[in-house]
């Protein structure tokens, strides 16, 4: 899990550097960073979703995933719980920042396929590349939201660690191109929703949408079990 450890360390380092830089940034410039991060998240999310829609074999799956996932997340009140927890840790909009950071770090081809390549082939190239990107992203996010952004690092470690162990002890075929495509569409929409929230256009309660990511996985597990 060398690649995952380095990826996690990169986020921690970026968060520390960004939080130090934050102290010298005035409120006007912090607001500018908020806007920049909101636009970036929206653009990244829309690109990820649109770029993968043409590749989808199940064009309705992402709609079902969002519908089911949002209902489950709302019943569990994931957004409310997360915001109350983060409010106890910081007086800033840390919950908003963490939600965006976790999605940006964890959802994407590099972050999902990277642990698979590492587990099956011992190739850490994807994860090293992802670490470099996450270092820059975490630095910018921490300069906006503060040192609390470092809390996203253990989430990434658990996420990639789970994928690594699954690939190590099951098979690489589980993470098929079809599954990665569907996850990228749903994940892209969630990242875009997070950006919309940062821009104060609409509070999409992104954390309530997180269970949507489990629907494509369960769908493909069901396909395999029933031989569909």
Structure tokens at 95: 């919950």
Per-residue pLDDT tens for 50-78?
989 999 999 999 999 999 999 999 999 98
Instruction: Tell me which of 59 and 100 has the higher pLDDT.
Output: 59
What average pLDDT does range 180-193 have in this prediction? Answer: 88
Query: d(Cα 42, Cα 179) in Å, to the nearest integer?
Result: 23
The pLDDT value recorded for residue 66 is: 96
Cα–Cα distance between 228 and 220 in angstroms, integer?
A: 9
pLDDT in the model for residue 158: 95
Indicate the pTM of the whole model: 0.75
Between residues 15 and 145, which one has the greater pLDDT? 15
Q: Give residue 11's pLDDT.
A: 95
pLDDT band for 9, please (50, 70, 90 cuts). Answer: very high
Write the CA distances from 219 to 61, 86, 106, 183, 184, integer angstroms. Answer: 9, 32, 20, 11, 15
What is the model's pLDDT at position 106?
87
Residues 106 and 135 sit within 8 Å (Cβ to Cβ): no
Using CA atoms, how far residue 181 sits from 86, 109, 177, in Å, is 31, 9, 6
Lowest mean pLDDT among 97-106, 107-116, 159-168: 107-116
Model pLDDT, residue 29: 78
Q: Calculate Rg over the CA atoms of the chain.
A: 17
- What letter does residue 163 receive in the DSSP assignment? H
Task: Say what the pLDDT of residue 140 is.
Answer: 84
Task: Give the Cα separation of 201 and 211 in Å (integer).
Answer: 23
Q: Return the DSSP state at 41.
A: H
What is the spatial distance between Cα 77 and Cα 82, in angstroms, rounded to a whole number?
9
8 A C-beta contact, residue 21 and residue 33: no
Q: What mean pLDDT is predicted for residues 20-44? A: 79
Domain that holds residue 55: 2-226
Question: Mean pLDDT throughout 38-60?
Answer: 89
pLDDT of residue 22: 78
pLDDT(141) > 80: yes
Average pLDDT of the residues in 18-39: 79
Residue 23: how many CB atoms within 10 A of its CB?
Answer: 8
Structurally, the chain folds into a number of domains equal to 1
More confident residue, 143 or 27: 143
Mean pLDDT value of segment 77-102: 75
| pLDDT for residue 56 | 93
């Amino acid at each position: 899990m060398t690649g995952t450890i380095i990826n996690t360390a990169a986020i921690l380092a970026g968060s520390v550097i960004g939080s130090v830089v934050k102290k010298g940034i005035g409120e006007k410039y912090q607001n500018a960073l908020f806007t920049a991060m909101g636009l970036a998240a929206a653009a990244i999310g829309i690109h990820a979703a649109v770029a993968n829609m043409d590749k989808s074999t199940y064009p309705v799956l992402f709609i079902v995933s969002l519908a089911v996932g949002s209902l489950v997340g709302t019943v569990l009140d994931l957004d409310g719980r997360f915001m109350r927890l983060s409010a106890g840790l910081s007086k800033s909009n840390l919950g908003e920042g963490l939600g965006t950071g976790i999605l940006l770090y964890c959802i994407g081809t590099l972050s999902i396929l990277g642990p698979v390549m590492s587990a099956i082939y011992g190739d850490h190239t994807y994860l090293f590349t992802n670490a470099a990107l996450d270092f820059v992203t975490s630095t910018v996010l921490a300069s906006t939201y503060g040192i609390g952004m470092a809390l996203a690092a253990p989430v990434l470690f658990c996420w990639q660690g789970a994928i690594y162990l699954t690939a190590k002890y099951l098979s690489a075929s589980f993470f098929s191109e079809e599954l990665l495509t569907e996850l990228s569409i749903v994940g892209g929409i969630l990242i875009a929703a997070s950006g919309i929230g940062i821009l104060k256009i609409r509070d999409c309660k992104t954390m309530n949408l997180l269970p949507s990511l489990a629907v494509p996985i369960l769908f493909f597990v069901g396909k395999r079990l029933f031989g569909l």
